[in-house]
């Protein structure tokens, strides 16, 4: 690229960084790009890495559009300024910082703690990598006003992120999310970041808190006698190079499980994730080594957690003895079924209990809850909204569990985010309970389908890159919003939920009914035969997502694979009717 084709704004941003008080490594990277790689320079500086409603996430490197100690520092300075405004009446503001196994995560965590301390905020910093749910637990345990976890969840190895939590232990929501964004955007220069660390305000958190956290998890056990009886249930667990490596086995042992096999190659905490293409437990390839290990040892259950150990994917044996992967809706339904049954059996249902799920998660969970007169709350996509319902109901109602289709689950009220450490223990306990009743987890799921009907879900994403792609997605949403179909999958569309307009169109009554959930660009079509189709643009990627949920009868002894195939054909037909098949 010719020198004169370099956008002036990019060169100006690069020059401003070179004039700022930056480290020599960053300075060298910028100079190298100026001399030898102007395309990379443009990618690194053409915009500012956006501090979204949850925090930062991006490719690591030098520049305003990259994750580094300076973009992270500006975010932390803005957050510090906001905390001092919100909690000006407190003598001491406190925050916790945790991180996962990604490259640079420790550096970013220490940098965050240093900037907090420089701004007079006490920083509790974990001594090493820890699961995200333990950060949530620590915020509540230490009575902190905020928390930050350094993680990019299941993104590729080139990425890292910065996720912000509030004083209830949940991720930030309105109005704090937008207010923090405003404060972060006021920081326009690296030199505005206070890097003058005050070591007296930094406290290192060690393994003592791990034990407290695991002890609290153990209090969630509803079948300790059954676990003792089936303690030798064969379990294979992999952290996929992430933070679950120590605490998940520790928690399973605390519950009483004694036959847990690891995958040694994936116990190595490595931010390059060398054994997988993507450390995402939603993808079958990420579990391939664990599945092989399970076949080698004859395991009944396989569990895999993502790098920050807030989501878990599982595999179970079908009726032919083959390992099959369950999706997030299936695993969540098994957990909800087990927990509600045990609450009922032990006399804990008093009429004020509830579960929470997201609007794109299976209605099977709501059907299970309804049978036991347990209330179901539907919330927008994102576990932070589940945590908000818990905060609203705290002290008034009893939370049983929360779940989302994207492999995140929670029980108990001492953590306020999805918790894969907790989920692994309760999934294993559910397997022991099923075994006590003469069933496998797979057979337990078949029984649920027989009782409540077979639910089949599918997610489809359509990518549209660049500015033109964003415009195309906008037009697609406008079309789906303004011209809803009359029929889908052979059944009449009876209602349209429009979360942007915050209203439901009841087609049979030709009435518009207000929706109470926050405004969000999501559409849902509901049909007479209980199909649910949800459409929403992604908030973090250039794509539009379609969630399909269809249901049908399922009889005892019926082959699940054949029954699912019929429902898959129905979903495929609906895709064609929507013009995306």
Angle between helical axes of 38-45 and 24-36 (0-180°, round to 10): 130
CB 400, CB 410: distance < 8 Å:
no
Burial call 131-168: b when 16+ CB within 10 Å, e when fewer: bbbbbbbbbbbbebbbbbbbbbbbbebebbbbbbbbbb
In DSSP notation, 257-300 reads ---EEE-GGGSS--TT-TT-S---TTSGGGGHHHHHHHHHHT-S
Can you tell me the distance from the alpha carbon of 303 to that of 294, in angstroms, rounded to the nearest whole number?
10
Please state, in angstroms and as integers, the Cα–Cα distance from residue 10 to each residue in 7, 126, 170, 287, following that order: 5, 37, 37, 42
Active site residue 136: no
H or E stretch covering 552 = strand 543-552
CB 187, CB 78: distance < 8 Å:
yes
Nearest C-alpha neighbor of 134 from the set 280, 260, 274, 305: 305
Residue 171: both structure tokens together: 């991720």
Can you tell me the distance from the alpha carbon of 407 to that of 247, in angstroms, rounded to the nearest whole number?
19
Residue 232: both structure tokens together: 């030798």
CB 166, CB 54: distance < 8 Å:
no
Q: How many CB atoms lie within 10 A of CB 4?
A: 5
CB 225, CB 249: distance < 8 Å:
no
Residue 301: both structure tokens together: 């259950």
Catalytic residue among 153, 333, 406, 549: 153
**CB-based contacts of 518, cutoff 8 Å, min separation 6:** 174, 380, 385, 499
CB 119, CB 171: distance < 8 Å:
no
Residue 494: both structure tokens together: 């009876």
Nearest C-alpha neighbor of 434 from the set 448, 420, 416: 448
Helix, strand, coil percent values for the chain (each to nearest 5): 40, 20, 35
Is omega for the bond preceding 34 within 30 degrees of 0, making it cis?
no
Can you tell me the distance from the alpha carbon of 461 to that of 453, in angstroms, rounded to the nearest whole number?
27
H or E stretch covering 179 = helix 176-186
Q: Which residue has the tokens 């079309």?
A: 479
Between strands 159-166 and 235-238, the pairing is unpaired
CB 217, CB 185: distance < 8 Å:
no
CB 209, CB 130: distance < 8 Å:
no
Active site residues: 153
């Amino acid at each position: 690229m010719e020198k004169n084709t370099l956008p002036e704004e990019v060169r100006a941003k690069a020059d401003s960084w070179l004039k700022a008080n930056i480290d020599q490594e960053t300075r060298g990277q910028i100079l190298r790009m100026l001399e030898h790689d102007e395309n990379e320079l443009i990618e690194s500086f053409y915009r500012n890495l956006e501090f979204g409603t949850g925090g930062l996430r991006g490719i690591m490197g030098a520049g305003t559009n990259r994750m580094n100690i300076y973009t992270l520092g500006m975010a932390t300075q803005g957050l510090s300024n906001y905390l001092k405004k919100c909690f000006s009446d407190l003598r001491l503001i406190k925050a916790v910082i945790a991180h996962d196994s990604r490259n640079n995560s420790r550096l970013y965590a220490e940098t965050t703690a240093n900037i907090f301390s420089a701004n007079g905020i006490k920083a509790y910093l974990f001594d090493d990598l820890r699961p995200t749910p333990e950060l949530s637990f620590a915020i509540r345990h230490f009575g902190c006003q905020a928390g930050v976890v350094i993680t990019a969840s299941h993104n590729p190895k080139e990425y890292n992120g910065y996720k912000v939590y509030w004083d209830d232990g949940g991720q930030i929501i309105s109005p704090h999310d937008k207010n923090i964004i405003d404060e972060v955007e006021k920081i326009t220069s690296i030199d505005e970041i206070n890097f003058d660390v005050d070591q007296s305000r930094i406290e290192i958190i060690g393994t003592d808190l791990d034990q407290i956290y695991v002890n609290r998890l153990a209090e969630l056990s509803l079948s300790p006698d059954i676990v003792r009886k089936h303690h030798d249930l064969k379990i294979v667990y992999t952290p996929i190079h992430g933070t679950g490596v120590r605490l998940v086995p520790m928690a399973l042992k605390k519950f009483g499980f004694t036959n847990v096999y690891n995958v040694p190659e994936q116990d190595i905490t490595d931010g390059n994730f060398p054994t997988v293409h993507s450390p995402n437990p939603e993808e079958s390839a990420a579990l391939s080594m664990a599945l092989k290990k399970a076949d080698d040892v004859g395991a009944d259950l396989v569990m895999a957690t993502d790098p920050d150990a807030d989501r878990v994917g599982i595999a179970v044996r079908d009726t032919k003895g083959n390992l099959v992967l369950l999706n997030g809706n299936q695993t969540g339904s098994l957990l909800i079924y087990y927990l509600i049954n045990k609450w009922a059996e032990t006399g804990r249902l008093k009429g004020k209990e509830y579960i929470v799920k997201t609007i794109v998660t299976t209605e099977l969970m709501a059907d299970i809850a309804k049978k036991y007169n347990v209330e179901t709350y539907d919330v927008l996509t994102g576990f932070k909204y589940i945590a908000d319902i818990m905060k609203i109901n705290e002290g008034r109602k009893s939370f049983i569990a929360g779940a989302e289709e994207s492999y995140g689950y929670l029980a108990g009220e001492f953590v306020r985010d999805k918790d894969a450490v907790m989920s692994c223990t309760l999934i294993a306990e559910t397997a022991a309970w099923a075994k006590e009743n003469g069933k496998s987890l797979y057979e337990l799921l078949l029984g649920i389908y027989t009782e409540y009907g077979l639910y089949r879900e599918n997610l489809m994403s359509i990518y549209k890159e660049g500015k033109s792609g964003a415009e195309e997605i906008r037009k697609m949403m406008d079309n789906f919003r303004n011209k809803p179909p009359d029929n889908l999958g052979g059944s009449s569309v009876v209602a349209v939920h429009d979360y942007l307009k915050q209203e439901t169109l009841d087609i049979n009554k030709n009435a518009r009914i207000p929706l109470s959930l926050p405004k969000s660009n999501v559409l849902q079509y509901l049909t007479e035969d209980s199909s649910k189709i949800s459409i929403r643009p992604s908030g973090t990627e250039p794509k539009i997502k379609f969630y399909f949920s269809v249901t049908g009868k399922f009889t005892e002894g019926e082959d699940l694979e054949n029954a699912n195939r019929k429902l898959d054909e129905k979903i495929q037909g609906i895709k064609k009717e929507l013009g995306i098949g």
